[in-house]
A and B are shown apart, each in its own frame.
Chain A
């Protein structure tokens, strides 16, 4: 179906079902139960899942296929954001031009950065991209303040030109919309003790994520995708086989930059603001972590990695010592305090510590990421039945 083979079609349909049902799947606990803080089915977080999913899918086309490790993709996310916010200030609060322009501008900027950075490979390439990202951040933070709003960033204001929209009433706030459907519009569905939120912005981002995912599958299965894997495998053989590896890597770089721009544009569509912190190098580092954690070079891995990191960032960081005390209240007081004291550094603001440990464990024991973990579990259960069948997400190759 859709020009894909059976396994890929199955994977695409599975991801589509997960995206559609996410508000339900991610809210497994009733609203007033003690476990409700583990619910992730609120719009803000679900939007971040799919947006960072897009970012990671695109990054994987560069890093997973060609092996070129860029630390500078935050710059393209930022450029996409600024392009989108300017469309909202100048043209219309409708998200369509904002999203299109964010992809275009990020693509142009990544063409420039890629053209220069790809003169080197390996660690030198990584350093060049990092340098570009930090320069972009500095420019956005201070030098280009008239365009970027400096430290405070940009937001749509009441008196922006917005030539396509009618004038807003005094005191109204401009809201991002898709032909009138507001991104913030939600339908709340209460069933028993459960409360599910179906949010327009989330589903729009979700549809774009599915389209991005579909395109990524097509690229993975295309001759172009095979050439990108050839770049990673043996550039010398490639060149002596009559193929010019340079335009291939540059094309992969620009495609991944456009994915990052789309993610940046969607962020603006959801929260209608853009600031320089989106260009900070840690954002570029985060997408590297997502891709490796999920499984670089696999189709579904980056999405899983993005989901996992965003879940931990939002949920584990919410747990505080009071909640820990509640959980271990059944224990004798001394033991309870002892356990809470041990766990305390790993929760709340210490969630990075937990992430670090999980990341180390994955890199050491599962070099193919979460996808490899899934494959091993699948093999344990369906040994005889599926012995010859490989996992739907394709080959796992450990990240370098």
Chain B
């Protein structure tokens, strides 16, 4: 049993079969990549995990509990954190405040009417936020306005925010999309470091093969809404079906 079990998931948008009969199992404490060409249904699938979309058929179980029909904040409270394709942070707030919000969310729940307490005097939360910034080498930026950071730092902050909640599953949606090679490599190193230092399961959606093969321990290839193969990276590299999906080779042409 994996920590995330996807069984027979299907999703239609009008006449388009975005996903059909997707089966997937993400094992605990592994890095599992979901790859596929554009339009393969990767993002649709991810949105089914986090409550943004509800599949028409099938089930998505996280740690033995169904996530279907739950709101994004409820799914987060179950232990799933999501990193977006373009970094989603609180740009009007300082870096420290950005870090404090997920800490509050994890400790006090989805809603807390603490309107009279001074947040900066909450030693527990401030301490956790600062420790996480320290661990991510961002302590010097704590008073900075989040909007004024570089794109690479915004990505790093977003990952730090997700990690501060000690999630059991971290979902990454094309974390290096639109990044320069140097930033991409930094992100890869960061994710490797996270993998080594923490007990965490990572599911990553990516079409950059370099990123996928440097990180993933298991890969699922998605094409036209269905998984083609699921295997370890070495077997995926030369797999004919994968080449077909990516390079558009057809039986006729071959």
Say how far A67's CB is from chain B's closest CB, in angstroms. Answer: 9
Q: Across the A-B interface, how many residue pairs have beta carbons closer than 8 Å?
A: 110
The size of the chain A interface, using a CB distance under 8 A, is: 31
CB atoms of A3 and B118 under 8 A apart:
yes
Please report the C-alpha to C-alpha distance between residue A397 and residue B117 in the assembled complex, in whole angstroms: 23
**Is A224 in contact with chain B by the CB < 8 A criterion?**
yes
Specify which chain A residues have a CB less than 8 angstroms from the CB of B104 in the assembled complex.
223, 226-227
Are B110 and A230 interface neighbours, CB within 8 A?
no
Tell whether, in the assembled complex, residue B93 and residue A242 are in contact, meaning their CB atoms are under 8 Å apart. Answer: no
Closest to A239 in B: B72
User: B245 at the A/B interface (Cβ < 8 Å)?
Assistant: no
Instruction: Please tell me the size bucket of the interface on B.
Output: 35 or more
Measured CA separation A223–B104 after assembly (Å): 8
B113 touches A239 (CB 8 A): no
The one of A237, A242, A248 in contact with B90, judged by C-beta atoms closer than 8 angstroms, is A237
* Known contacts A242-B105, A244-B71, A229 near B114 by CB under 8 Å: no
B76 touches A223 (CB 8 A): no
Instruction: Type the 1/0 row for A220-244, where 1 means its CB is closer than 8 Å to any CB of B.
Output: 0111111101101110111111111
Given contacts A237-B90, A239-B72, contact A244 B110 (CB under 8 A): yes
Interface: B97 (CB within 8 A): yes
Q: In whole angstroms, what is the CA distance A224 to B122 when docked?
A: 13
A240 touches B73 (CB 8 A): yes
A233 to B90 Cα, complex, angstroms: 5
CB pair B116–A226 under 8 Å, yes or no, is no
Q: What residues on A are CB-neighbors of B118 within 8 Å?
A: 3-5, 218, 221-222
Determine the distance from Cα of A229 to Cα of B146 in the docked complex, in whole angstroms: 13
Interface majority SS (helix, strand, loop, mixed), chain A: helix
> A219: CB under 8 A from chain B?
yes
Q: What residues of chain A lie closer than 8 Å to B108, measured between beta carbons?
A: 223
Cβ A242 vs Cβ B120 within 8 A: no
Contact with A along B84-104 (1 / 0, CB 8 A): 100011111100010011101
Contact between chains at B97 and A226 (CB < 8 Å): yes
Q: Does A350 contact B (CB under 8 A)?
A: no
Q: A234 touching B90 by the CB < 8 A rule?
A: yes
Q: How far is the CB of B135 from chain A (nearest CB, A)?
A: 18
CB neighbours (8 Å) of A255 from chain B are: 115
The distance from the CB of A79 to the nearest CB of chain B, in whole angstroms, is 22
Those of A130-154 within 8 Å (CB) of chain B: none
State whether A224 touches B77 (Cβ < 8 A): no
Question: Chain B residues with Cβ under 8 A from A248's Cβ?
Answer: 111
A397 to B110, alpha carbons, bound, how many Å? 26
Are the C-beta atoms of A243 and B90 separated by less than 8 Å? Answer: no
* Contact call A224/B114, Cβ cutoff below 8 A: yes
> Which residues on the B side are within 8 Å of A218 (C-beta)?
115-116, 118
- A240-B73, A241-B105, A242-B105 given; A224·B93 CB < 8 A: no
B161 is an interface residue with CB less than 8 A from chain A: yes
Which residues of A (51-73) have their CB < 8 Å from a CB of B?
Answer: none
Chain B residues near A234: list those with CB within 8 A. Answer: 88-91
B137 to nearest A CB, angstroms?
Answer: 22
A237 with B88: in contact, given A226-B101, A242-B102, A242-B110 (CB under 8 Å)? yes
Q: How far is the CA of A232 from the CA of B101 in the complex (A)?
A: 14
B110 touches A243 (CB 8 A): yes
Q: Mark A236-262, 1 if CB is under 8 A from B, else 0.
A: 111111111001100100010000000
Identify the A interface with B (CB < 8 A).
3-5, 218-219, 221-227, 229-230, 232-234, 236-244, 247-248, 251, 255, 397
**Can you list 9 contacts pairing A with B, beta carbon distance less than 8 Å?**
A3-B118, A218-B115, A229-B93, A234-B89, A238-B73, A240-B73, A242-B105, A243-B110, A244-B111
Query: Which B positions have Cβ atoms within 8 angstroms of A?
Result: 50, 71-73, 76-77, 81-82, 84, 88-93, 97, 100-102, 104-106, 108-120, 122, 125, 161, 165
Interface contacts beyond A233-B93, A234-B91, A240-B84: sample of 14 additional A-B pairs, CB < 8 Å, sorted by A: A3-B118, A219-B115, A223-B104, A225-B115, A226-B101, A229-B97, A240-B50, A240-B76, A240-B82, A240-B88, A241-B101, A244-B111, A251-B115, A397-B92
